[in-house]
A = this chain, B = another copy of it.
Amino acid sequence: MSVEVITIGSELLNGLVRNTNVDLIGDLLAEVGLEAAYHTTVGDDGKRIGEVFRTAVHRAEVVIATGGLGPTPDDLTRRVIATVFRRRLILDQVILDRIRARFKERGQEMPPVNEAQALIPRGARVIENHRGTAPGLHFTHLRTELFALPGVPSEAEMMLREYVIPCLRAATAGLARGLRVVRTIGIGESALAERLSGFEMEEPDLKLGMIARASGVDVHISASSRDGAWLNVVLDRAERKLWERAGRHAYGRGRETLSEVLGRALLGRDLTIATAESFTGGTVGAEIVATPGSSRYYKGGVIAYSNDAKESLLSVGRETLERKGAVSAEVAEEMARGARIRLGAHCAVSTTGIAGPDGATTAGKPVGLAYLGFSTAEGESSERWIFGGSRADVIAKAAAHALDLSRRNLGVNEEWFGPSSRS
């Protein structure tokens, strides 16, 4: 079954907005064993969008399009579909009422332009949008199934999961494709590749790939078969092997985040955590609360961006600050201890460092230098890191490693696949 993905919007072509819908659709197609044959992006230009749809139905059996379903005059997808596929637009009263109700919920009148979103090409089914006003469209043209979704990523995602992917799953029944991901942190791509050398010879049915992200390197293994049971056995075995070879660097599987892994570990042990952040400015806290239910184990934190705040809110000693400097192992440890005690948590994690581009004043303290501290009732410890990249990279990496330091201090990972090689 050949699939074409079409993303519509001028902002996707001029480098202003990253095309996240493509990655999302790629991931979701993989879940049902599919892969796009073509992906086309086109600006908000009626003639060009029409040309892209015409080409797509000619060469693909499934077309998934995002964008151009908004209410404004530069949202052209509905009109182009009507023209290219010769389907009259009909005002759908049910949809119109639904859009009006959505505005009413927020205490607003529906602006007249939004009426356009209730125009449905004849014969098309409506895909409900629970997160916004633009409904999606599904129709068949000759032998091609077309799905048109809004461009807003969260809306497109929900409609893909609830409608499009289930449709495709039904159509591809029989062929199973498996994809497993082992996520690692604290080890580079080439060092990881060395640990995995020989893996592809041992597992010839699998495809292996790596992707470097700010949070670490993800290792992917995939395979396809009509024998789903065999597929699972092979993937289970390979995943376990990957996990063992990656050792303490492996932290999660699939889309699991460090925040989720840490949260589960805290919940499982009935522990609470607090944060004390200097140069990450709240990023560690923000990562922790990204996981739903985090209020059960996250007490809160202090963003001690200034030395005054480190003293007054975290009880860091003025002497320590003066003698060792704000970016030091000692200050990181006192910050973690202060947060743990002030917030009444079982443990706490801290960050202090130099995000750059300026600020590296003292010799031996370059941009990217960071100390991460950890505190429990039994005492404090810290790690020294030098992170590369832009200011945003340094902050993101420091936050990820602070979560990872907490994970390792809580002894997470060993329990899932037997003792790992703590190196």
Q: Which residues of A contact B (CB under 8 A)?
A: 9-19, 22-27, 29-30, 35-45, 48, 51-52, 55, 59, 70-74, 106, 111, 113-114, 131-132, 152, 154, 179, 181, 189-191, 193-194, 208-213, 218, 220, 275, 277, 279-286, 288-290, 292-295, 298-306, 308-309, 312-313, 342-344, 355-359, 386, 388-393, 395
Contacts and interface: CB of A to CB of B under 8 A. Distances in A.
B48 A37 contact: yes
Contact of A304 (B218, B282, B290, B300): B300
Contacts of A309: 299-300, 343
Number of copies: 2
A220 B71 CA distance: 17
A190 B298 contact: no
Given A298-B281, A344-B308, A389 B131 contact: yes
Contact of A306 (B22, B288, B290, B295): B295
Nearest 6 pairs of A and B residues by beta carbon? A15-B26, A282-B282, A282-B285, A281-B289, A300-B305, A300-B309
Contacts of A304: 300
A89 to B, nearest CB: 19
A39 B37 contact: no
Given A10-B209, A303-B302, A313-B302, A279 B289 contact: yes
Contacts of A113: 190, 193-194
Contact of A288 (B10, B71, B281, B355): B281
A248 B40 CA distance: 38
Given A38-B48, A43-B35, A282 B292 contact: no
20 contacts: A10-B220, A13-B35, A15-B23, A15-B29, A16-B218, A19-B19, A35-B43, A37-B48, A40-B40, A40-B41, A70-B189, A71-B189, A72-B190, A72-B210, A281-B285, A285-B285, A294-B305, A298-B306, A300-B304, A308-B343
B209 A389 contact: no
Given A11-B220, A282-B289, 14 more contacts: A10-B209, A14-B35, A19-B22, A35-B43, A36-B41, A280-B289, A281-B298, A289-B395, A295-B359, A298-B305, A299-B306, A301-B302, A302-B302, A306-B343
Given A209-B10, A305-B295, A282 B284 contact: yes
Given A38-B52, A189-B72, A289 B305 contact: yes
A45 B37 CA distance: 9
A114 B190 contact: yes
Contacts of A209: 10-11, 16, 44, 74
Nearest to A293: B358
Instruction: Name which of A27, A72, A154 has the most chain B CB atoms within 10 A of its CB.
Output: A72
Given A37-B48, A386-B106, A294 B281 contact: yes
A356 B313 CA distance: 29
B106 A211 contact: no
A62 to B, nearest CB: 14
A129 to B, nearest CB: 11
Given A37-B45, A38-B41, A209-B16, A154 B306 contact: no
A223 B194 CA distance: 52
B281 A286 contact: yes
Contact of A389 (B44, B51, B72, B154): B154
Contacts of A292: 355-358, 391
A193 to B, nearest CB: 5
A406 B154 CA distance: 27
A277 B212 CA distance: 32
A298 B309 CA distance: 11
A46 to B, nearest CB: 13
B305 A302 contact: no
Contact of A15 (B14, B24, B73, B299): B24
- Residue of A106, A279, A386 contacting most chain B CB atoms (<10 Å): A106
